[in-house]
Amino acid sequence: MLEIESLTTRYGSISALREVSMTVGSGEVIGLIGPNGAGKTTLLGSVAGLLKPASGVVRFEGDDETGSSPDQMLRRGVALVPEHRRIFTDMSVVENLKIGGVTIPAAERTGMMDEMVELFPVLKDKWTTSAGYLSGGEAQQLAIARALMSKPRLLMMDEPSLGLAPILIDVVFDLIVKLKEQGMTLLVVEQNATRMLGVSDRAYVLRSGALVAEGTGTDLLARDDLFDTFVGN
Amino acid sequence: MNQLIQNLVDGLGRGSIYALLALGIAVIFGVMHLVNFAHGELITVSGYLAYWMFISGVTWYLIAPAVVICAVIVSVIIEQVAFRWVRGAADFTLLLTSFGVHFVVEALFLMYVSASVKSFNRPGWIANTFSVGSVSVEIFDMVVILVTLLVLGLTALILQRTMFGLALRAAAEDFDTARLMGVKSDRVIRGAFMLSGLLAGIAGVFWLMRAGATSPGAGTTPMLKGVLAALIGGLGSLKGAVIGGFALGLAEVLLRSNLPGSVASLTDGVVFALIAVLFIFRPQGLITVSHAERV
């Protein structure tokens, strides 16, 4: 579904991502792990169109999408739940969902919002509440629901468990499993490597902008040296 | 008491025009982080259109909508010609660009039209008054206030109830995330400039009706008033821009009416001093804006 070939992305003269290649197959859950500054968020930003790669290719369902804008990528079926959720705090929960569905026909938007309420029942009680008043867990669920409103085929999530209480982290990982069961393809950046590898089909490990390991969750979990050295978990 | 009521109506009338101008400036600031010092040029260009239509024998009933349409078109043209190329640049670059547009437009009229003031007749009803008890109220003030309230109400509806409004608000809060949701940056910025032009055009109709004249620098004063009002309200806050506009209008009229005759001519100076005092205590303006990401 997603193929990344020799992707390099720079901030000025600094290469945040160096010659990274990876693939995400349809229906797979792929973990992307590594320490702070490894280039994980840069990779997601480069795929989502927020950052222009200096070189390399991003291919989605066979089409070259390198350098496409975020709205083009979303219309192609790639959605990103950004780091720190970045919900629109001045807007209500329902308005956040509506804006998440800006790319789908108006007639489908209401149905999608109903689906989101089923998937995230907590949002129903907060429907007209300003999103700025949501708790961390509620905000994360809103951020994911908002991204799902566009009916993506590939959902990318950047640190979905960041800053959440342990019980809410369970909710996030349960949701990843649930989405996987529904056939969603997921590419998830996660600092909580152990938990992520537990739900991933495969994972990639990044360090200093370069890919240093890849494999199934079980394989990588077995490599203590990898965790001690690169993840510190 | 009668004097106070008359001053309040006059101040609200004046403040209505400032509110429309400030709201347009706040809309652009929200999506681009640009303090648009070229905003007044929409009134300058529209003013010349009004003048040319007037000397061609066209009435205000046609001039007024033409002025509004002209302001919308000029606003979009300025975005396409000037601001499009500096999207995402440093705030100072955007600021300089807007100053550049301001001076270029003024220079073009100086070079190719005339430096002299071009006068045209105001509408006949503009000086008419009506009495409420012993208070004499200008019809013009009431028209300005009512039209402004109607426009503000419609603008609020657009922002709250339409997808364009939601996209504009989302882009004003966090432009990158709005793009991730599928909001097209070109479309939302162009829409913001259209809305800003529409608001400036309506304000421009009232400004030109009252002024009865235009000149190459005609847009400078309304632009300054609009920027000031937006700053008073809290730059980036749409609600604040409207409040700032009304506050500025009321302050001007009340000060002009109540300052001793010997210093009445210093009203603008006193207003600026009061604004400076406000900024000492509330540098963020009346309404605090916590985000206003830029393109």
Residues B132-142: pLDDT tens digits? 888 888 899 99
Per-residue pLDDT, A37:
84
A161 pLDDT above the threshold of 90: no
B261 pLDDT above the threshold of 70: yes
Q: Judge contact between A193 and A32, C-beta under 8 A.
A: no
Q: What is the mean pLDDT of residues A61-74?
A: 92
B294 pLDDT above the threshold of 60: no
CB-based contact (8 Å) between B180 and chain A?
yes
Taking the C-alpha atoms of residue B273 and residue A17, their distance in angstroms, rounded to an integer, is: 52
Which stretches of chain A are DSSP H helices?
40-48, 70-76, 93-100, 106-119, 136-148, 166-181, 193-199, 217-222, 224-226
Tokens of B235: 């730059």
Return the residue of A nearest to B183 by Cα: A71
Taking the C-alpha atoms of residue B207 and residue B213, their distance in angstroms, rounded to an integer, is: 10
| Chain centre to alpha carbon of residue B183 | 26
Residue B124 or residue B215, greater confidence: B215
Identify all chain B residues contacting A49, using CB atoms and an 8 Å cutoff: 179
A43-62 pLDDT tens trace? 999 999 999 999 999 999 99
Sign of the C-alpha dihedral computed for residues B24, B186, A154 and A43 taken in this order: negative
Name which of A125, A186, A183 is nearest A154 in CA terms: A186
User: Which candidate from B170, B174, B179 shows the least CB-CB separation from A70?
Assistant: B179
CB-based contact (8 Å) between A128 and chain B?
no
Taking the C-alpha atoms of residue A149 and residue A81, their distance in angstroms, rounded to an integer, is: 12
Across the interface, whether the CB atoms of A82 and B180 are under 8 A apart is answered yes
Per-residue pLDDT, A229:
46
CB-based contact (8 Å) between B293 and chain A?
no
Per-residue pLDDT, B262:
77
Cα–Cα distance list, B184 to A73, A99, B175 (Å) = 11, 12, 10
Taking the C-alpha atoms of residue B242 and residue A91, their distance in angstroms, rounded to an integer, is: 19
B30-60 pLDDT tens trace? 888 889 999 999 999 999 999 999 999 999 9
- Confidence category of residue A227, pLDDT binned at 50, 70, 90: low
A232 pLDDT above the threshold of 60: no
Q: Judge contact between B75 and B136, C-beta under 8 A.
A: no
Place of tokens 């709005």: B178
pTM score of the predicted model: 0.85
Name which of A29, A24, A27, A21 is nearest A4 in CA terms: A21
Number of A to B CB contacts under 8 A, please give it. Answer: 67
User: Which candidate from B163, B166, B179 shows the least CB-CB separation from A71?
Assistant: B179
Q: What is the mean pLDDT of residues B176-190?
A: 91
Average pLDDT, chain B: 90
Mutate to test the interface with A, among B180, B184, B289, B290 (most CBs of A within 10 A): B180
